[in-house]
Structure 1
Amino acid sequence: MKFHQLSTFVAVVDHGSVTAAADALSVSQPAVSQTIRSLERDLGVAVFDRIGRNVRLNAAGEALLPGARQALRDLQIARDAVASVSALRSGRLDLVSLPTLGVSPVAELIGEFHRRHSDISVRLVEPESAARIGSVVASGEAEIGFTELTSQGAVPFDPATGPDRLESVELDHQVYVVVYHRSVELDEVHAPDGAPVPLTELASLPLVTAIEGTSTRRLIDEAFAYVGVAPRIAVETELREVIAAVVAAGGGYSILPRVVAEAIGSPDGDIVIAQVAPPIRRRVGVIFRPGAMSPAGRAFLEVVEESKRRG
């Protein structure tokens, strides 16, 4: 197999068609088709199922994809190392993060990294599942991931990922709070001294939250189950902007990371944030593949370690 065969194969997968891959690679569509056919001849098996003008990755292609991505990344690592000689004059850093970590700590760390290495571009994607993030890093699609860690500090992972393939650096605990508009009748659940709001008293009120299967929803469901009650779901959505808008409009309360809750605004400024009891928190950190880091990846981990030391 040759480099241009693998890069063309991955381009067809990432862009969804031969035509789109040809545009992205600035080559002709017949050239892409010919390269894929030569790859299949070398492998002795087709990697795409062809349906009319469309192509779909088949079982052989799925088996090839992780290794192809890593081979391309390994070559890029070698090129970066030679070209930059640790000067970090060019290149791109691929990150993946849970959406609820995007503002803090991810944005803060990206900002600090870019101040030091302004010639390095950063690409951030946000799958919702913590297990999916482990797979993205393990497969080489991203070098560094920001995710929740288990109570033992381990990395949540898909069975195909394997916990031994990743290392983690714990950053902090992310604290969840209740957030609502003053027009929502929550005053009766507040203690006079501003004590945390009991989950048992929130259960009957309208909750605006993420859909099932997301990291935040799992935490919320587990917290209510722990105190023996079920929340009354008023709105569930995968769109964070909708959660914020519904809360700001007085459509119910939500339970969100504090930094996310603090970003919710309303025209009248009547957004209330309070702690919950028992507290809801999760351990968060960065994950990466040891021994497979680009210069930019290593430099980013240095920023992470410095931030952790500063507290």
Structure 2
Amino acid sequence: MDVRQLRYFLAVVDHGSVNKAAAVLHVAQPSLSQAIRALERELGINLFRRVGRRLVLTDAGRALIGPARQAVRVLAAARASVEEVGGLRAGRVEIAVMPSQSVEPLARIIKAVTEKHPGLSISVRAASTADDVVDQVRSGRTELGLLGTNAPLTDARVGVHRIGRQRFVLVCPADGPFVPGTVVRDEDLAGQRLIVGQPGTGMRRVVDEIRAAGVDLTEVVETEQREAILPLVLGGVGMAVLAESWAPLARQAGALVLAVEPARHLHLALVSDPGPLTPAAAAFLDVAHSLSL
């Protein structure tokens, strides 16, 4: 068994087919298939089974995912440590990020990281909830994650690096029902139509808290797609409670952004693989901690 076989195996797992994995890895499909078959022969068990035209993991294949990711990560860290003895000149960071944090502070962190370490490349993976971010880091799909939670994150399964917080704001159409400068209290939202995120998101938990306090709200749209929210608000469908990271975009688009009372916040954190980090990931964390977020 060698690391190339494990990388090929993980590519098929992540992309769902030999064709897609071969395209991403820039290798010929027969070479990738041959490497997978060789790995199965060496282990003495099938890692995939075919269902129609799809490849489905066997129990043995699922059991291999975690150890394979760890082995690939450890080798990458060892190689990077040796190559970068003279200074961090290259490397790759993979990070899973929730939608609001991908607007801010991710852009600011990446700008600072690439200015300090221009040889680094960064791969950003989408994650819809904080649990999704943690799962991607725990499974080894990414080495780092960036998330926001309604309470400070405590999770012994990952390294947690708290970096600040964002308050929630109300984003609504410019033509009402509120006027600029209004501080909107929970009871002011009675009878209003709201666009909400899916369960498990910060914006959804805020709306659920307001409803639990006895305020009658109407959920007119539930969406997993944050990019759909501003067009819906501007179209007069409803209003939305969003993290303040969206405020500049909302104002630029012509929406009204208002403070809410009582104030509620998202607590921001970077999470990391609990094992040894590659020099690139460690540098990313160092720069993020140096910023005033």
TM-score of the superposition, structure 2-length normalised? 0.91
Matched residue type, 1:262: P
Greater displacement, 206-215 / 62-71: 206-215
The Cα offsets for residues 141-169 of structure 1, whole Å up to 9 and x where unpaired, read as 21221113463x334xxxxxxx3231212
Matched residue type, 2:277: M
Matched residue type, 1:64: L
Matched, 1:171 2:163: yes
Give the direction of change, closer, same or farther, for the CA distance of 1:15–1:86 in structure 2 (3 Å limit): farther
Greater displacement, 106-115 / 48-57: 48-57
Distance 2:68 2:138 in 1: 13
Distance 2:269 2:198 in 1: 23
User: How many angstroms does 1:30 deviate by?
Assistant: 2.9
Give the direction of change, closer, same or farther, for the CA distance of 1:254–1:86 in structure 2 (3 Å limit): farther
Which residue is 1:275 aligned to? 259
Give the direction of change, closer, same or farther, for the CA distance of 1:86–1:34 in structure 2 (3 Å limit): same
The Cα offsets for residues 194-233 of structure 1, whole Å up to 9 and x where unpaired, read as 56211222131111222334342123212432x2224211
Which residue is 2:183 aligned to? 196
Match of 2:196 among 181, 200, 209: 209
Q: Helix, strand or coil for the counterpart of 2:284? A: helix
Give the direction of change, closer, same or farther, for the CA distance of 1:9–1:248 in structure 2 (3 Å limit): same
Matched, 1:219 2:211: no
User: How many angstroms does 1:296 deviate by?
Assistant: 0.8
Q: Helix, strand or coil for the counterpart of 2:249? A: coil
| Structure 2 unaligned spans of 5+ | none
Distance 1:24 1:140 in 2: 18
Give the direction of change, closer, same or farther, for the CA distance of 1:154–1:25 in structure 2 (3 Å limit): closer
Report matched runs for 1:15-94 at 5 Å. Answer: 15-85=15-85, 87-94=87-94
Give the direction of change, closer, same or farther, for the CA distance of 1:150–1:60 in structure 2 (3 Å limit): farther
Distance 2:25 2:237 in 1: 47
Greater displacement, 33-42 / 89-98: 33-42
Which residue is 2:272 aligned to? 288
User: How many angstroms does 1:33 deviate by?
Assistant: 2.3
Bigger RCO (CA 8 Å, 6+ sep): 2
Distance 1:181 1:196 in 2: 15
Match of 2:214 among 221, 228, 236: 228
Matched residue type, 2:278: S
The Cα offsets for residues 231-259 of structure 1, whole Å up to 9 and x where unpaired, read as 21122222222210121233321111112
Which residue is 2:117 aligned to? 117
The answer to whether the 8 A contact 2:206-2:241 is kept is no
Distance 2:132 2:118 in 1: 29
Q: Helix, strand or coil for the counterpart of 2:45? A: coil
Matched residue type, 2:250: I
Distance 1:245 1:30 in 2: 46
Distance 1:14 1:115 in 2: 31
Distance 1:111 1:26 in 2: 29
Alpha-carbon RMSD across the aligned residues, in angstroms, is 2.1
Q: Helix, strand or coil for the counterpart of 1:165? A: coil
Match of 2:287 among 266, 280, 303: 303
TM-score of the superposition, structure 1-length normalised? 0.86
* Runs of 4+ off more than 4 Å: none
